[in-house]
Amino acid sequence: MKKIILLPIFLAVVVLILLAVFFFMQSPAPVESPTDVKVFNIESGQEISSPLVVEGEALGTYFFEASFPIVITDETGNILGSSYVEAQSDWMTEDYVPFRGEITFSSKTGGKGFLVLKKDNPSGLPENDKEIKIPVMLIPSEYTTIKVFFGNSDLDLEFSCNKVFETEREVLKTEAIGSAAINELLKGPTESEKSAKYFTSINEGVSLLSLKIENETAYADFDERLEYQVGGSCKVSAIRAEITETLKQFPTVKNVIISINGRTEDILQP
C-alpha cells in the first residue's frame, strides 16, 4: 500500500525536476558586459622588454583627447616607466577604437610586473578612475656607462670657463647613445655630484630636439631655452664645452655643431 502511495509522489518529483531543467536550458544566457580594453599583442604572463609596443582597442569612453596613459610597474606597484597610447581613428564614439603606443621602462632585476592601462580621467575624481592590469614577466634591462662633462670648482680653481670634467652615469643600453648622453647632461649634476662640486652652466629645462652624426661631425639641435638670458663669454664657452666634450667621448665624433631650432648663426653670443 505504501509503495502505491509513494509512486505518484516520486513521479511528480521527477516531472518537476525535468521541467526545471527544461526551463533552465531555454532561458537566455547572461549577456557579458564589454571589456573596456583589449590588448592584441601582449598576453598574461608574457615576457616583455624595453621598449615595448602596445596595440589593441578600447571603448571611446576610455580616451580623452585621443589618448590614455599606460605604465609598467614591478610586482609591488613601483612605476618603472610611463607613456601614452594614441587612438588610431576617431575616438569620439562609444564603440571600440584601435590604439597604439610605445613605452620604455627600466628594470635591473626583472621578474613579475604589470602592464597597466589607465582610463584617462581629466576630472581627477576617484570614482572616475579605472584601469586594466595585465601580469607580465619583465626581462632585465641592459645598462651601459656613459660620461657627462660639467664644470667643477674644486678641480678648476682658476675657473677657466671652457674646462670641464667627466663624471659617469649608467643609462639603458640604446642605439641612440649620443642622445642618451646629452639628455643626462641636461638633467644637471646629481646631488652626490653637487657635493663633489660639479655644476652646470646650462639652463634648467633645456630640451634636445635632434642629434645626428655624419662624417665624424655631431649636429646637436636644442630648443630656445639653451640661450635664454645667457650672457658673458665665459658662460657661453662653458655651455659649449659641456655639450662638445660629452659628445666627443664617442669615437665617431670629432667635431660638434650646436644649433637652436635649426639656427647655427648668432646663437650663444657673449
State the pLDDT at residue 15.
56
Q: What is the DSSP string of 232-261?
A: SHHHHHHHHHHHHHHHTTSTT-SEEEEEET
Residue 97, pLDDT score? 97
User: Nearest to residue 40, comparing CAs of 89, 88, 93, 100?
Assistant: 100
Q: List, for residues 229-257, the tens digit of each pLDDT value.
A: 887 889 999 999 999 999 999 999 999 99
Rounded CA separation 190/17 (Å) = 76
**Rounded average pLDDT over 98-107:** 95
pLDDT at 267 over 80: yes
Residue 222: pLDDT over 80: yes
Per-residue CA distances from 258 to 74, 206, 219, 226 (Å):
39, 13, 6, 10
pLDDT: which is higher, 8 or 89: 89
What is the spatial distance between Cα 227 and Cα 62, in angstroms, rounded to a whole number?
Answer: 41
pLDDT average, residue stretch 108-132? 92
Q: Tell me what percent of the residues of the chain surpass a pLDDT of 90.
A: 72
Check residues 172 and 167 and name the one with the higher pLDDT: 167
pLDDT score at 27 = 46
Report the chain's mean pLDDT, rounded to a whole number.
89
Domain assignments of the chain as residue spans, ordered by start: 37-138, 143-260
- Give tens-digit pLDDT for 7-60: 566 555 555 666 555 555 554 444 444 689 999 999 999 999 998 999 999 999
pLDDT score recorded for residue 93: 94
Decide the pairing of beta strands 217-222 and 255-260: parallel
The CATH architecture to which 37-138 belongs is Sandwich (2.60)
